[in-house]
Amino acid sequence: MSSFVDRAQLHAKAGDGGAGAVSFRREAHVDRGGPDGGSGGHGGDVWVVASTNQASLIGFRDHPHRRATDGGHGASKRKTGGTGSDIEVPLPVGTVIRDHSGDLLCDLGEEGDRWLIAKGGRGGRGNASFLSNRRRAPAFGEQGERGEERWLQLELKLVADVAIVGFPNVGKSTLISSVSAAKPKIADYPFTTLEPHLGVVTVPGGSGTDPGMDFVLADIPGLVEGAAEGKGLGHEFLRHIERARVLLVLLDLAATGGVAAATQLEVLLAELGRYQPDLLVRPRLVVGSKADLIADRDEEVAIDLAISAATGEGVQTLIGRLAELVVAARAEIVPAARAAIVIHRPFPEQITAQRLEPGVFEIVGRSAERAIGLSDLTDDQALDVVLGRLRRLGVDRVLARAGAHDGDEVRIGELSFTWYRYGPDSSLEPGAPQDEGARPRRGKGSK
């Protein structure tokens, strides 16, 4: 079973907020003690962090769930519940995060990049927070807000300095194993490499003032004609070439696969251009492999260097040439341009009304669900608070635009109530409760 996984799903569940307490001060010699219920603690957040300690997404293949802890409930004497602990989910550098519809949300391109993937729920306020001149003894508090929960798609694009591109069985794995500590599977049949491999190549310095350098070399599974359209393994692995600073196009000079070197080069460049046109302007080195198997080199194909990974011919020269290209490519990167993580933010969430069936509407929106999160909706004071919140959020206008009429049923989360826009008394504002039917009521599935 392969240990390299470059596609996975992540289910993130932030912690729920703790509930606010409903409590009244009860002490000796304290007459009519007021409300002293404390607020609940906030739920923990879920963060993703780019880490070089992760090489693939295999940890999410069988266990995609990550959850933060919930906030503690409030208590008497105005005690606030504990805050839930955040969790950090380490992901390999180069991971792209998309939502369930495939829209790009975040690109973790550098080590240490962080993104808030699920925000914890707010803690509910205790009844002490609702004390006012109108409400001297509030007997209700807020429920804790539920933490965000979402499924996300993870896609890994390897970050390497040099990507080896070539037909199957041209010697890519043999080359990377000879210049680094990587140990890919090597055999004499096509598509031996079924997963990308990374190797670190060390270039020694020339003097005491020149410490040398390291660069990362990636062995990409073989490409064939039609790879950009999904033929062979190209559709799965072409994306790993996107982030490489330098391309090493490796050609089989001996044509052991039955395809001439000139044809190989033509097909490879055509497939790269079809997949992503800017790959053709990326710095590249065209190298012929298996030079030890031919007596006369084909002059029809223009190559920069001929090597034999089996005998070591030209390998050190190749490393020197690649090091020069990598240094030049790294120098062109402007640090300030990558100062912040790339985040593709969706539009701010709005309150919307959806018609479920004739005469039944549902209000969708986190702020609306938060507005009804009180512990006791049978309390008249609590109902007044809920209706005032909904009115300020513009729920009346949203329902009117959606075509709701007096007497229609409106659902928000687990709450169900009958809606009236105008009452018999025209002096009342739209949305004000006219009778018991206009107030949130308990019903099937209601809170």
Q: Residue 36: what pLDDT?
A: 92
Q: Residue 302: what pLDDT?
A: 81
Q: Residue 187: what pLDDT?
A: 40
The arithmetic mean of pLDDT across residues 26-32, rounded, is: 77
The answer to whether position 223 is within a domain reads yes
Q: Residue 237: what pLDDT?
A: 64
The answer to whether position 128 is within a domain reads yes
The answer to whether position 61 is within a domain reads yes
Q: Say if CB 161 and CB 214 are below 8 A apart.
A: no
Does residue 205 sit in the same domain as residue 308?
A: yes
The answer to whether position 103 is within a domain reads yes
| In the predicted structure, residue 219 carries a pLDDT above the cut 90 | no
| In the predicted structure, residue 445 carries a pLDDT above the cut 50 | no
For 143-178, how does the pLDDT look when each residue is reduced to its tens digit (9 = 90+)? Answer: 999 999 999 999 888 777 888 888 887 888 888 888
Does residue 332 sit in the same domain as residue 236?
A: yes
For 102-121, how does the pLDDT look when each residue is reduced to its tens digit (9 = 90+)? Answer: 888 888 888 889 999 999 99
Give how far the C-alpha of residue 271 lies from the chain's centroid of Cα atoms, to the nearest Å.
29
What domain range is 127 assigned to? 1-156
Give how far the C-alpha of residue 198 lies from the chain's centroid of Cα atoms, to the nearest Å.
23
Q: Residue 37: what pLDDT?
A: 93
Split into its structural domains, the chain has a count of 3
| In the predicted structure, residue 358 carries a pLDDT above the cut 80 | yes
For 409, the token pair is: 């049923």
Determine the straight-line distance between the first and last CA of the chain, rounded to whole angstroms: 49
Q: Which CA distances in Å does 306 have to 57, 249, 303, 316? A: 36, 12, 7, 12
Between CA 146 and CA 70 the distance in angstroms is 9
Which among 127, 156, 185 is the end of a domain?
156
| In the predicted structure, residue 210 carries a pLDDT above the cut 70 | no
Residues 6+ apart with CB under 8 A from 29: none
Domain containing 375 — which CATH number?
Answer: 3.30.300.350
Q: Residue 39: what pLDDT?
A: 94
Does residue 417 sit in the same domain as residue 279?
A: no
User: Percentage of the chain surpassing pLDDT 70?
Assistant: 79
The arithmetic mean of pLDDT across residues 353-365, rounded, is: 90
Q: Which CA distances in Å does 214 have to 111, 161, 165, 241, 440? A: 17, 10, 20, 19, 67
Between CA 65 and CA 96 the distance in angstroms is 18
Confidence tier at 333 by pLDDT (50, 70, 90): low
Does residue 103 sit in the same domain as residue 179?
A: no
Q: Which amino acid is at 122?
A: R
For 247-302, how does the pLDDT look when each residue is reduced to its tens digit (9 = 90+)? Answer: 998 888 887 777 888 888 888 888 888 888 888 888 999 988 888 777 666 566 78
The answer to whether position 407 is within a domain reads yes
The answer to whether position 447 is within a domain reads no
Lowest mean pLDDT among 18-27, 132-141, 286-295, 356-365: 286-295
Confidence tier at 330 by pLDDT (50, 70, 90): confident
Q: DSSP string covering 82-141, please? A: PPPPPEEEEEETTEEEE-TT--EEEEE-STT-EEEEEPPPPPPPPGGGG--SS-SS----
Between CA 195 and CA 100 the distance in angstroms is 25
Q: Residue 258: what pLDDT?
A: 76
For 304-322, how does the pLDDT look when each residue is reduced to its tens digit (9 = 90+)? Answer: 888 888 888 888 888 888 8
Select from 442, 415, 433 the least CA-distant residue to 143.
415
The arithmetic mean of pLDDT across residues 35-47, rounded, is: 95
For 59-103, how does the pLDDT look when each residue is reduced to its tens digit (9 = 90+)? Answer: 898 899 999 999 999 999 999 999 999 999 999 888 999 988 888
Does residue 192 sit in the same domain as residue 298?
A: yes
